[in-house]
């Protein structure tokens, strides 16, 4: 029996416990190290804090460009790899979701963007960078009493600062919408990220939020520009692309894993959203740029 190849998942316990901090100073990766350059997932949050330099990533088939004073945050489960890098000063941070308090996890999970990329003003960035420098000094100490608790507390404080900057920028972009509408949309996004395999209708999310389906749909559409159905389909097809491209799952296996009982319906939906049939997409590994999401 042929063993099915799955998407590589790098768990936290592979390398570190709870928190990982490492400098990127003088990192040059026109041809990145094999492990970093191969598409993979993490079961933890992954941050790049870039002070000086350039870096190109690919995250779920989308190109992401980092320059001076940028912070990038990757969600657990996203497929990503480093394409190239010319870094003079920067940090890698990784942390287990379990060490974050419930409020901070909700803030991250409710971000409206699928890719969290935060440009930071120079003075503000310098302050954040000094906090990471201090965190690293404690991280490298030879295991004093309560070191783990201190590191986790400092890391949480740092991520709260990241989140504060991001939310201020998000608020500025969404200033024409009410606080209630934004809050409702964020709750929906969090639920969708956690339940897209099993909850595929507006009414299911509305019932969980104890509001009408029409009210939820109208609210999300006003904030994001797209109805609930669009977001559900995008989330499903994003995972379908991951599985079809980065594993040897058959189309039937992918449909089954995503909760589709009707293979023909899955094929039609994939073709509509992605622009090509699943079978064609599986053959396009040589050129990721040929396929981009289409608007519904």
Q: What is the pLDDT of residues 146-169, one digit of tens each?
A: 888 999 999 999 999 999 999 999
Q: Are residues 28 and 106 in the same domain?
A: yes
Q: Which of 121, 149, 173 is the last residue of a domain?
A: 173
Between 283 and 210, the more confident residue is: 210
Q: State the CATH number of the domain containing residue 207.
A: 1.10.10.60
Answer whether residue 296 is part of any domain. no
Q: Are 65 and 2 in contact (CB under 8 A)?
A: no
Inside any domain, residue 62:
yes
Helix (H, G, I), strand (E, B) or coil at 121: coil
Cα(89)–Cα(226) distance, integer angstroms: 39
The model's pLDDT over 250-293, given as tens digits with 9 standing for 90+, comes to 999 999 999 999 999 999 999 999 999 999 998 876 454 444 44
Same domain for 198 and 153: no
- Last-in-domain residue among 114, 147, 173: 173
Residue 131 sits in the same domain as residue 226: no
Is the residue at 197 inside a domain?
yes
Instruction: For residues 108 and 25, state if they share a domain.
Output: yes
Q: How far apart are CA 82 and CA 39, in angstroms?
A: 8
At 112 the pLDDT is 84
Can you name the residues that pair with 80 across neighbouring β-strands? 40, 59
User: What is the per-residue pLDDT for 6?
Assistant: 62
Model confidence at 34, pLDDT cuts 50, 70, 90, reads very low
Q: Which residue has the higher pLDDT, 195 or 61?
A: 195
- 72/202 same-domain check: no
Is 71 in contact with 122 (CB distance < 8 Å)? no
Region 235-261: mean pLDDT is: 92
Q: Which of 111, 145, 173 is the last residue of a domain?
A: 173
Same domain, 166 and 254: no
Residue 163 lies in a domain: yes
CA atoms within 13 A on the CB side of 51: 20
Question: Which domain covers residue 207, as residue numbers?
Answer: 189-290
**Do residues 122 and 217 both lie within one domain?**
no
The verdict on residue 19 lying in a domain is: yes
Tell me: do 50 and 93 sit in the same domain.
yes
Whether residue 26 is found in the same domain as residue 123: yes
Spatial distance between the Cα atoms of 51 and 90, rounded to a whole number of angstroms: 5
* CATH code, domain with 150: 2.60.120.280
- Quick one: 169 and 202 in the same domain? no
Instruction: Assess contact for 96 and 34: CB atoms under 8 A.
Output: no
**Which residue did the predictor score with more confidence, 162 or 295?**
162
* Nearest alpha carbon to residue 237 among 272, 206, 194: 272
Residue 179 within a domain:
no
Reported in sequence order, the residue ranges of 101-234 that DSSP labels E, i.e. its strands, are: 116-119
Residue 260 lies in a domain: yes
Helix-helix angle 202-209:213-224, to 10 degrees: 100
Q: Let me know whether 28 and 149 are in one domain.
A: yes
Half-sphere exposure of 50 (CA within 13 A, CB side): 22
Mean pLDDT of 87-97: 92
- Residue 247 DSSP SS3: coil
The count of domains in the chain is 2
For residues 15-40, give the mean pLDDT: 65
**Angle subtended by helix axes 263-274 and 228-246, to nearest 10:** 100
Over the chain, what is the mean pLDDT?
A: 86
Which residues have C-beta within 8 Å of that of residue 75, sequence separation ≥ 6? 45, 108, 116, 193
| Class of residue 31 by CB neighbours under 10 A (exposed 0-12, middle 13-18, buried 19+) | exposed
* Same domain for 82 and 23: yes
């Amino acid at each position: 029996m042929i063993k099915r190849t799955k998407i590589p998942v790098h768990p936290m316990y592979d390398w570190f416990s709870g928190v990982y901090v490492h400098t990127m100073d003088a990192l040059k990766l026109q041809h990145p190290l094999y492990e970093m350059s191969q598409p993979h997932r993490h079961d933890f949050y992954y941050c790049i804090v870039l002070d000086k330099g350039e870096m190109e990533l690919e995250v779920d088939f989308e190109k992401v460009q980092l320059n001076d004073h940028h912070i990038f945050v990757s969600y657990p489960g996203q497929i990503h790899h480093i394409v190239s890098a010319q870094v003079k000063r920067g940090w890698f941070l990784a942390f287990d979701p379990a060490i974050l308090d419930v409020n901070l996890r909700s803030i991250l999970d409710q971000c409206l963007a699928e890719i969290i990329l935060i440009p930071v003003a120079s003075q503000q960035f310098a302050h954040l960078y000094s906090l990471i420098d201090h965190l690293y000094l404690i991280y490298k100490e030879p295991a004093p009493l309560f070191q783990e608790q201190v590191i986790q507390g400092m890391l949480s404080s740092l991520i709260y600062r990241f989140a504060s900057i991001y939310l201020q920028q998000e608020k500025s972009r969404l200033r024409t919408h009410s606080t209630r509408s934004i809050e409702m949309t964020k709750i929906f996004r969090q639920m969708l990220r956690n339940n897209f395999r099993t909850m595929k209708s507006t009414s299911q999310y509305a019932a969980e939020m104890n509001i009408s389906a029409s009210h939820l749909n109208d609210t999300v559409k006003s904030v994001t520009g797209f109805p609930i159905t669009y977001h559900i389909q995008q989330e499903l097809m994003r995972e379908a692309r991951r599985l079809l491209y980065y594993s040897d799952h058959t189309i039937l296996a992918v449909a089954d894993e995503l909760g589709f009982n009707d293979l023909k319906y899955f094929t039609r939906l994939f073709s509509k959203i992605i622009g090509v049939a699943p079978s064609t997409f599986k053959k396009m590994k040589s050129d990721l740029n040929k396929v981009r999401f289409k608007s519904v």
